[in-house]
Amino acid sequence: MSDLSEKILRHVSETSPLNTLDLAQLLATDHQKIVGALKSIQAHGDLIRAEPQTSKFIELTEEGKQVAEHGSHEARIFHAVPSEGVAQAELMRLPNAKVGFSKAMSAGWLTLDKGGPPVVKRKVDKIVDTVQANLRLIQGGHLGQIEDSVRQEYKKRKLIQEVVQKSFNLTKGGDFSLTLAKLETDLTSEMLLTGGWQQLKFKDYNFDALGAPLDCGYLHPLLKVRAEFRQIFLEMGFSEMPTNNYVESSFWNFDALFQPQQHPARDAHDTFFVSDPKISTNFPEDYKERVKEVHSRGGYGSLGYRYDWKIEEAQKNLLRTHTTANSARMLYKLAQEKNFKPTKLFSIDKVFRNETLDATHLAEFNQVEGVIADYDVTLGDLIGVFAEFFKKLGITELEFKPAYNPYTEPSMEIFCFHNGLGKWIEIGNSGMFRPEMLLTMGLPENVRVIAWGLSLERPTMIKYGLNNIRDLVGPKVDLEMVQRSPICRLDK
Ligand SMILES: N[C@@H](Cc1ccccc1)C(=O)O
């Protein structure tokens, strides 16, 4: 039996009721330790009864303690003013000068001479620092001597604060005893054979214990957040697109999306080109011709880009820079069907960009993409879908900013207000696919397609409070972080 438990039992046998706070003082022990020992005594049965109490008291804040020790801000400012006065600008450089100066002025201790550059002078020779004196009284437990209004003022000045202390009033229980028998934790075969178990006392199960970590694999936070996104899309009736090709042709990654062949994103500075196999050649022939036509001469009411479109540029293989390449493939497929059916698609998979690596950028990341193709859908529908999609993530405040993408018009960046960070952050990009893209594929004229893309890493980092992407992905990831991170709910 622990020493402390024994002492508690002895004190309760002498004084009853006995408050745990008084007991802590009596035994010169931390209150938390007393409460801990009390819990273990109670595990032995009805030895001690404990009635919860709450008491409020006033204590000095850190600032209050400073004042009690070194004087109030106003007194320190007063003492910093020499008898001949001092330039106000100089005085104001001292710590806590703003409060100190204004309090000293309203106490009538100082005056401000504004004849030239403002000079602060003493108005009285001596002062009494009542704030310091009062705080010392409170510190000494004489709060009763302080008037209510003064108390309120100190509270406002954050010199004192109210603390709520939980404690217990202890009385003897029905099975009170001065000693504790050791509780058994295991039932052994010997106890069963001898029948000894009947006389022994067993420790209660603690069903609140956290338990040992499971000896099994753990899901990485990115996988958990991915599962959340996938669940949201499925709930909203979206089907998942195939995205199992990291290597893509420039044709599907750029040309099909009406992205001109001179566009800077198609430069090796931004895109990883693949050297083996270097090119793709298998494109739907008549579609390829229509893509060439719309880029070089226009069509469907568009002037096109008016340049010499080259198949060699479209053939270049690359690591896809966005999953919108997969959306393009799916929309083309949809356009080939006899009767158009409204369709909602999503994907969550890896994309690659030739980025300069830093705390928030990697050369590969995951993109979350949603696409809705339907008759006459509008930008209003897109905003409505966002409202529902992000609400399921716990995000209700959204704002949009006009943006530019070669393949969408209009385009909008999506911002959300992050409560935890207390600011607006950009979370994605969106828009309505251009007619130059959709009509070229062969979709009916009045079919519109709204779409959006986000990164998976960004919400994951925010959710798990990480500010360096290397803590989430790559060789420096702390495996214990993966084990510790609970199932993710995207609601905060
Ligand atoms: N492809 C865009 C995202 C996006 C998808 C669909 C429409 C508009 C924008 C990106 O990589 O940022």
Q: What pLDDT score was predicted for residue 302?
A: 96
Looking up tokens 């083309």, which residue turns up? 332
Ligand 1 atom nearest residue 429's Cα: 9
How many angstroms separate the alpha carbon of residue 220 from the centre of ligand 1? 25
CB atoms inside a 10 Å sphere around CB 325? 23
The angle subtended at Cα 407 by Cα 405 and Cα 408, nearest 5°, is 70
Mutate which of 254, 365, 369 to test ligand 1's pocket (most atoms within 8 Å of Cβ)?
Answer: 369
In single-letter form, the type of residue at position 376 comes to D
CB of residue 405 inside a 6 A radius of ligand 1: yes
Average the pLDDT over each of 160-169, 346-355, 459-468 and give the range with the smallest value.
Answer: 459-468
Looking up tokens 């879908």, which residue turns up? 385
Which pLDDT tens digit goes with each residue over 231-270?
999 999 999 999 999 999 999 999 999 999 999 989 988 9
Q: Could you tell me which of 124, 30, 24, 130 has the C-alpha nearest to residue 71?
A: 130
Beta-bridged to residue 452, according to DSSP, are 370, 430
How many angstroms separate the alpha carbon of residue 357 from the centre of ligand 1? 21
How many angstroms separate the alpha carbon of residue 242 from the centre of ligand 1? 17
Is residue 491 pLDDT above 60, yes or no? no
Looking up tokens 């010199």, which residue turns up? 159
How many angstroms separate the alpha carbon of residue 407 from the centre of ligand 1? 9
Q: What pLDDT score was predicted for residue 466?
A: 84
CB of residue 408 inside a 6 A radius of ligand 1: yes
Q: What pLDDT score was predicted for residue 1?
A: 46
* Shortest-distance Cα residue to atom 8 of ligand 1: 430
Which pLDDT tens digit goes with each residue over 288-335?
999 999 999 999 999 999 999 999 999 999 999 999 999 999 999 999
Cβ atoms of 344 and 238 within 8 Å: the answer is yes
> Does the interface predicted TM-score (ipTM) exceed 0.90?
yes
CB of residue 369 inside a 6 A radius of ligand 1: yes
In single-letter form, the type of residue at position 463 comes to K
CB of residue 430 inside a 6 A radius of ligand 1: yes
Kind of pairing, strands 119-122 and 110-113?
antiparallel
% of the chain at pLDDT higher than 70: 98
- Report residue 424: phi and psi, to 5°: -80, 135
Average pLDDT over residues 150-174: 93
Q: Could you tell me which of 4, 64, 58 has the C-alpha nearest to residue 31?
A: 4
* Shortest-distance Cα residue to atom 3 of ligand 1: 453
Mean pLDDT over all residues of the chain?
92
Q: Which residues of 300-310 are buried (b: 16+ CB within 10 A; e: fewer)?
A: eeeebbeeebe
Kind of pairing, strands 343-352 and 239-240?
parallel
Beta-bridged to residue 175, according to DSSP, are none
Q: How far apart are CA 93 and CA 74, in angstroms?
A: 14
Return the structure tokens found at 223: 């996988």
% of the chain at pLDDT higher than 90: 76
CB of residue 259 inside a 6 A radius of ligand 1: no
CB of residue 253 inside a 6 A radius of ligand 1: no
Is residue 346 pLDDT above 50, yes or no? yes
Please report which confidence band the pLDDT of residue 206 belongs to, taking 50, 70 and 90 as the band edges: confident
Q: Which residues contact 258 (CB under 8 A, 6 or more apart)?
A: 294, 295, 406, 407, 434, 436, 437, 440
How many angstroms separate the alpha carbon of residue 168 from the centre of ligand 1? 60
Which pLDDT tens digit goes with each residue over 39-81?
989 888 899 999 999 988 899 999 999 999 999 999 999 999 9
* Shortest-distance Cα residue to atom 11 of ligand 1: 322
Average pLDDT over residues 410-424: 86
Q: What pLDDT score was predicted for residue 2?
A: 67
Q: How far apart are CA 470 and CA 138, in angstroms?
A: 50
Please report which confidence band the pLDDT of residue 487 belongs to, taking 50, 70 and 90 as the band edges: low
Extract long-range pairs of 14-23: CB within 8 Å, 24+ residues apart: 16/170, 16/171, 16/172, 17/51, 17/169, 17/170, 17/171, 18/169, 18/170, 18/171, 19/53, 19/167, 19/168, 19/169, 19/170, 20/50, 20/167, 20/168, 20/169, 20/170, 21/55, 21/165, 21/167, 23/170
Which pLDDT tens digit goes with each residue over 208-237?
888 777 788 889 999 999 999 999 999 999
Domains and CATH numbers, the chain: 3-53+168-184 (3.30.1370.240), 76-127 (1.10.10.2330), 222-248+321-484 (3.30.930.10)
Q: What pLDDT score was predicted for residue 492?
A: 44
Which pLDDT tens digit goes with each residue over 105-157?
999 999 999 988 999 999 999 999 999 999 999 999 898 899 999 999 999 99
